[in-house]
Structure formats: C-alpha cells, structure tokens
Amino acid sequence: MSEQKAPMAPVPRWVRLCRVLWKIIAYLGTAVVLGAVASLIGTWLTSPQGRLPADAPLSALLTHWLITLLVGCCLLLVAVVIWILSRQNTPALQMHLPTTQERQRMLGRLRLRYEQIRTQSLQGVDRVNWDWLPDQRQ
C-alpha cells in the first residue's frame, strides 16, 4: 500500500527571504574572494620585485589587520546566521480527522446533494417501464 504523506505547511516569508539572501551572499562572497585572490596573484606576478607594492589595496588591509579581521568575522557571522535560518524546517500541517458524527453528517449531505442533482438531471425525461424484462433475481 502506498503511504500518504502529510501536506507540508507553506514556508514562512522570512525563511524564503533567508534562502534568497543566502544564495546572494554565497555568490557575492565567492566572487569577492576569487576576485581578490586573482588580483593578488596578478599584482604579485607583474610587480618588478616579485612582491606587493605599498599602494596595493591588500597592503592597506594587512596594515589595518585588526579592523579587517573584525569586519570579516562579522560578515562571516551574518552569512552563517542566514544560512542556519534558511535551513529552518517548517512543521507539517496537522490534519483534522473528522469524528464519526461529522462523517455521518457529511455523508447525509452528500447523499441529499446527489439525489438533488439526479432529480434535476432527469427533469423532463420520460420514465422507461422495465416491466417487460424477465426477473434476473433468484
């Protein structure tokens, strides 16, 4: 037999926002790190002395290493928090199972509605007399 899965609750708006933000942060963070590494390698390879010049942006970042480290840690913390929030599981909807009385009431309503539909669909139709058929019951 096939098992029926409980329907999932709609994902809250803030979780969807965190999922989108995580994708943006991951893309931009990767682009910035790869761009900085490529720039560093390019500058290092093209400098005449084989070292970074004093006016290179990375030299300024290394000069103020404490501020660079704090800002980097804060950005990493924001990225991790958004990643954790984007993985938030939403609980499944709890299904309301009808009681026996509610089921009987619903079946009565359906029976009445089906009878109304059948009556309306047969209005203006002549009834056929089936008395001429032999009785099949024994």
Query: Is the pTM higher than 0.85?
Result: no
Distances from the Cα of 79 to the Cα of 61, 76, 82, 124, angstroms: 21, 5, 5, 72
- What pLDDT digit, counting tens, does each position of 28-52 carry? 888 888 888 888 788 778 877 777 7
Task: Pinpoint the alpha helices (H) of 1-138.
Answer: 13-46, 57-63, 65-86, 100-121
Instruction: Confirm if 44 and 66 have CB atoms less than 8 A apart.
Output: no
Q: How confident is the model at residue 2 (pLDDT cuts 50, 70, 90)?
A: very low
